[in-house]
Each structure stands twice: as structure tokens, then as C-alpha cells.
Structure 1
Amino acid sequence: MKQRVGLLARKVGMTRVVEKNRVLAVTLLKVDSCVVRCKKEGVRTFLQIGGGVKKKVSRPLQGHFNKHGVPFFGKLCEFSVSEEGELPEGAVLKASHFISGQFVDVTGISVGKGFAGGMKRWGFRGLPASHGTSVSHRSHGSTGHRKDPGKVFKGKKMAGHMGCATVTVQNLKVLDVLDEEGVIVVAGAIPGSNGSWIKIRDSIKIPLSDKVIWPGVFDLSLERTSDSSSVGENV
């Protein structure tokens, strides 16, 4: 299966657009300094992508970046690519890597809700409001069975921490790409708070359009740092 590399972007927020007399909710994603840092080869080929700029990073990461002569990135992630989708190290990816009308899969970390009860977390209806019920109206009720099996099975829906989970939303349509501003307009909602990092890649379920550029839209204008720079700098 042919696979291209994806992009790292920040979620700007949501707004609405009018398309064919319909009002659509859209999410704006800002692509900022998305650079191919290195390539890993094995059973599959991975391209590591860096996004954003960070002044201070840990010493191991400083050595990691200095080894490849790239700036200190605020976020790193990897994408599995096929042979046709490989890019040179240091390639700067642009928002026009995606085209208007294509479908993408988007991954983000959902907004944290803290500790939530069964009614909020799973949509349970709760216990009766009257007829002898007291203090436990919003309880989820019994969690077990009887002597056999004599335990609560793993994965049982109960109260607990809600949100802050990695969520992937598939088959979202790209409505517009503003290349100069580095903004991608995607139909629908995307997990994560405003300003959070988002991974975007081509949809794996919907075939790519013939208009998509292989292996991607990029340039090699990145200012590379010296490999001999001190690992102890900026600590």
C-alpha cells in the first residue's frame, strides 16, 4: 500500500463556513515549521517529523537534534511511509501537502475532564430518583456477577478518569488549504484543546485522488545547524 508522510499542526479553533447553502462546522489547523528530521529503516520505513521551535530541550534531545543538524523542535512524531513516499532529511513540508477535497485521518489528545461518574463518562441512566433510593441516585449500580466468576471483568465501564486520551477521527474532508498562511481547513470536529498538537495524514480507507502530489510538497530551505555544536548549549 502506498503511503505518504503526514503533517504536524496546531489546532487553532473552530468556525463555520457556508458551502452549497449549507452551514458547516470546520476546524482550522496551523502547520508551523514541519520538518523531516530523520529516516528509520527496518521492516517498515518511518520518517520522523519535527514541528514548532523550542529554546531549551533535554541534553539527550540536544544530541538527537545536533546529530542531524536540525533546530530544536517542540514536538516530534513518526509516520510510516512506503518507498514512494520517502522524503530527504531536512525537507520542510507545507500545508499544500494536502489538497482541497481529499480525506484525512486526524489524531489528537482529547480534552481532559478529570474524574467523572458513570452517567457523565458512559451515559448511564443512573438509579431511580425515588422509591427508596437514597444517596446513590447517580451511582452505576452493581458491577459484579455471583460466586462464579466472583470477580469484576477488566474493562468494566465504571467511574474514572475521563479524557486525555489519544483519539483518531477518520475520513474528515479537507475543505480548503491556505498555503501562504499555512492553514488547513478540515470539516468537522477534531479532538484536543486549542493550541494542542495534531497529527494529520492521508485517509487509509478512502483512496487518494490522482491530483495528490507524490511524495509531497516540500522545499529544502531549512537552515541546518552544525553537527559539531556543543550538546551542553541552551541548558
Structure 2
Amino acid sequence: MNVLSSIIGKKVGMTTIFDEKGQIVPVTVIEAGPMVVTQVKTPEKDKYSAVQVGFGEKKLQRAKKAEVGHLKKANTAPKKVLSEIRVKAADLEKFNAGQVINLGDLGFKGGDFVDVIGQSIGKGFAGVVKRHHFHPGPEAHGAHEYKRHAGSIGTNTTPGRTRKGLRMAGHMGAEKVTVQNLKVVEVRPDDNLILIMGAVPGHKNGYVTVRVAKKKAAKAAAKAAKSDKS
């Protein structure tokens, strides 16, 4: 079932493995799937074609009545994560509500490149030195209490206001982050585990989306189209 381009997973943590050359490779272990199809969206009814999937079990008492009723149609329990994956209208017949999708159904293999989407670790309220990498002020020569300050945030009479987008202190992290073109080191479909080289966004046990690398796929498609013309 290679019509799906992404899968929802949970970040288990990081470890190191040895490659075929005996070199240590740092990898992130992601428990990808199984997902359950909770709804199939058709162009006739929803004006676009997509598959809604759920991942991770949620306690019944923590789910809202609307959510329970919606998932009851797919004969499945409440899920911690619900997400939509766009598919072609011609491929919708391959999906049914309640269908289970495992990692092995997507065709990921070692050597592939993927994008990983997740929520970055929250750092709370941070100053400009930590948040925007400002250079700190002098520590001597009469400096007093402004070593890590931002400096002036205003302007002259024109425009006479603080400009939008000015880098200042504020909440850092806890935002959607996409890391592109990460290499898949190993896929273990029996355990629904995928090992990806390097780090991915989020904390341990955080939920992430692993999708086929968009830029790599676009380049490959353009190269194939160019070779066909020649």
C-alpha cells in the first residue's frame, strides 16, 4: 500500500547502532504504527480526497462524546492522535473505516530519505541571547545590568513605533518543526520500528509524523521526466 506517503509514530528515544562498515551511527527509534483508518473522505461528500487515521490508545473517560461517536463508526477506540493523509481519488477504494495500517504496508526501507514533523521541546520564557542568539553585552568598563539585554527596540520619529517581527524575549520552543531529508537506517516491520539517522523534533514519547522526503521526491520526479523527454 504505497499510496500513503506518511505514517504517525511515537519517538521512543535515541541510541547507536553499527553499520555494515563497523562505524557507529546515531539513530532515533520511532514506533511507527499501527494506524487505524477512522474515516475516508471523498470528493463527492467532502470536496477532496483523503484518509483520516488514528494512532495511540486514549482512555475512554478522557475522550469527548463527539470523538467517541465519530470513532464508533469505524468500530475503534478513541485515539490520541488523529491526522489526515491526502491520497488520490482513484486510490480511495483501497481504504475502509476500521482498517489497520502497519509500517510494513508503506514500503519504507533502509536508505530512503524522509521528513519528520513534530513539536519541538518547550523551553519556556527565554531571553534574546538564548532565543535569538544575540551577542551579550560587555561585562566590564562600566557595564551594569544589561549584559543579556536586547538593547533598543524603538525608532526615531518615523515611524515612531516598534516594528512588527522585532526579535525579543518570549516563549521558546513547543512549536511545529519539520526536519527534512533524514536517512532511514533500518526498518523493522515486525515490531513497527523505524530507525532514522540523527535527531528528530520533540521529546521522548512525543508524537511525530514520518513522510516521504518531499524535496527528494520532487527532484527524482523532475529527473525522470527530463530523461523521458530525452
Q: What is the TM-score of this pair, normalised by structure 2?
A: 0.83
Note the aligned Cα RMSD (angstroms): 2.2
Matches within 5 A, 1:178-193: 178-193=188-203
- Do structure 1's residue 31 and structure 2's residue 38 form an aligned pair? no
Among residues 79, 88, 105, which one is paired with 2:115 in the alignment?
105
Among residues 88, 95, 100, which one is paired with 1:88 in the alignment?
95
1:136-163 deviations in whole A, cap 9, x for unaligned?
1111111222111112222211110011
Residue 24 of structure 1: CA displacement?
2.2
Partners of 2:175 and 2:203 lie apart in 1 by 12
On the 8 A contact 1:37/1:49 being kept in 2, the answer is yes
Q: Which sections of structure 2, spanning at least 5 residues, go unmatched?
A: 221-230
Corresponding residue of 2:18: 18
Residue 129 of structure 1: CA displacement?
1.1
CA 4–33 in structure 1, closer or farther in 2 if over 3 Å, else same: closer
- What letter corresponds to residue 217 of structure 2 in structure 1? P
Q: What is the TM-score of this pair, normalised by structure 1?
A: 0.82
- Do structure 1's residue 134 and structure 2's residue 138 form an aligned pair? no
- What letter corresponds to residue 51 of structure 1 in structure 2? F
Corresponding residue of 2:52: 48
Relative contact order (C-alpha < 8 Å, sep 6+): which is higher?
1
Corresponding residue of 2:207: 197
Q: Which sections of structure 1, spanning at least 5 residues, go unmatched?
A: 210-235
Corresponding residue of 1:145: 155
Corresponding residue of 2:227: none
Residue 55 of structure 1: CA displacement?
2.3
Secondary structure of the 2:141 match is: coil
- What letter corresponds to residue 55 of structure 2 in structure 1? G
Partners of 2:121 and 2:136 lie apart in 1 by 24
1:174-193 deviations in whole A, cap 9, x for unaligned?
11111111110011110101
CA 158–10 in structure 1, closer or farther in 2 if over 3 Å, else same: same
CA 6–143 in structure 1, closer or farther in 2 if over 3 Å, else same: same
Q: How many residues align?
A: 209
Partners of 1:5 and 1:44 lie apart in 2 by 17
Residue 85 of structure 1: CA displacement?
5.2
Corresponding residue of 1:121: 131
Among residues 66, 72, 76, which one is paired with 1:66 in the alignment?
72
Residue 21 of structure 1: CA displacement?
4.5
Corresponding residue of 1:9: 9
More helix by share: 2
CA 142–60 in structure 1, closer or farther in 2 if over 3 Å, else same: same
Matches within 5 A, 1:148-163: 148-163=158-173
* Bigger mean CA offset, 162-171 vs 150-159: 150-159
On the 8 A contact 1:26/1:186 being kept in 2, the answer is yes
Residue 65 of structure 1: CA displacement?
0.7
Partners of 1:84 and 1:142 lie apart in 2 by 58
On the 8 A contact 1:129/1:137 being kept in 2, the answer is yes
Partners of 2:27 and 2:58 lie apart in 1 by 29
CA 3–168 in structure 1, closer or farther in 2 if over 3 Å, else same: farther
